[in-house]
Amino acid sequence: MLRILHQIFRTGIVTEPLPSAIEAEIEEVGARLEEAIKRRFRRSLTIRQVDAGSCNACELEIHAINNPVYNSERFGIHFTASPRFADMLLVTGPVSRNMEIALCRTYNATPCPKLVVAVGDCGCSGGIFGESYASLGGVDKVIPVDVYIKGCPPTPVVMLQGILKAVGK
């Protein structure tokens, strides 16, 4: 136990402020957002992540925004196990044929108002997998998308930026 406490004090708080350009952007949307978040989301944003066919690199970076360095919880962002509690679907792609039905069901199970964010080059447009018998392409081929986060995979900072942008919509 002492060792654990010692390690906690040694580590301290590692959470970093976001890069200044993004901080500024957050400041800017922040004022507009505050009211909206308070009203619409009760000061917190609950996300259901759906992998609709990704190669799992995007999942790694979504995990990373939860690590102590990016600490997405500080913005009131948390991930939920059920779409029924979610305000936002964070969808990675491309949407595979075999995930199309599951993605639609998840979308329908999410209460309105809901936001959909397509993550990664594949989620945005199908990426290197394109459209084929097995891949339907970008997320917007199947469900309506509010915000696109590009990158292969997007870095955690870009990911957070995109999520905050979606809330501002």
Partner 1 sequence: MTILQNIVISILEEVAIQDANQYPANVPTYQIPRERFAEIAKVMKTAGARLVAEWATDETLHPHHPLPHQGGGGRGMGFGIYACYAKDSEYLIIKTYTPLEDPTFPSLVKKFVPAYRFERQMKSLMGVVPVGHPDPRPWIKHEDWPEDAYPLRKSFDASKPIPRVAGEYRFIKAEGEGVYEIPVGPVHAGIIEPGHFRFQAVGEDIINLEEKLGYVHKGIEKRFETLSWEDGAKLAGRVSGDTTVAHALAYCRAVETMTECTPPERALWLRALMLERERIANHLGDIGAICNDVAFAFLLYQFSILKEKLLRTNLKLFAHRLMMDKIILGGVAVDISPDAKNGILTEMDWLVNEFERLVIIYDENPSLEDRVRDAGILSPDTAKGLCVVGFVARASWQPIDCRLQNPFPPYDIIVPRVAVLKSGDVHARVWVRIEEIRESIRIIREILNSLPEGEIACKFILPSPDIAGFAVVEGWRGEVVYWLQSGPRGEINRCMIRDPSSVNWIALEQAIHGNIVPDFPLCNKSFNQSYSGNDL
Task: Tell me which residues touch partner 1 (CB under 8 A).
Answer: 3-4, 7-8, 11, 14, 49-64, 66-69, 79, 81-83, 94, 96-99, 102, 106, 127-136, 152-153, 155
Q: Rank residues 32 and 97 by Cβ distance to partner 1 and give the closer one.
A: 97
CB of 74 to partner 1, least distance (A): 14
Q: State in angstroms the smallest separation of the CB of 114 from partner 1.
A: 15
Nearer to partner 1, 37 or 136 (CB): 136
Whichever of 4 and 112 has its CB closer to partner 1, that residue is 4
Q: Taking Cα atoms as reference points, which of 140, 64, 28, 161 lies closest to residue 95?
A: 140
For partner 1, the closer CB: 22 or 57: 57
Q: How far is the CB of 139 from partner 1 (least distance, A)?
A: 14
Cβ atoms of 93 and 68 closer than 8 Å? no
Query: Rounded to the nearest 5°, which phi and psi values hold at 56?
Result: 85, 0
Tokens of 101: 């039905």
Q: How many CA atoms, within 13 angstroms, populate the side-chain half-sphere of residue 65?
A: 28
User: Nearest 5°: CA angle at 93, between 103 and 102?
Assistant: 15
Q: CB–CB of 90/117 below 8 Å?
A: yes
Least Å from the CB of residue 25 to partner 1? 21
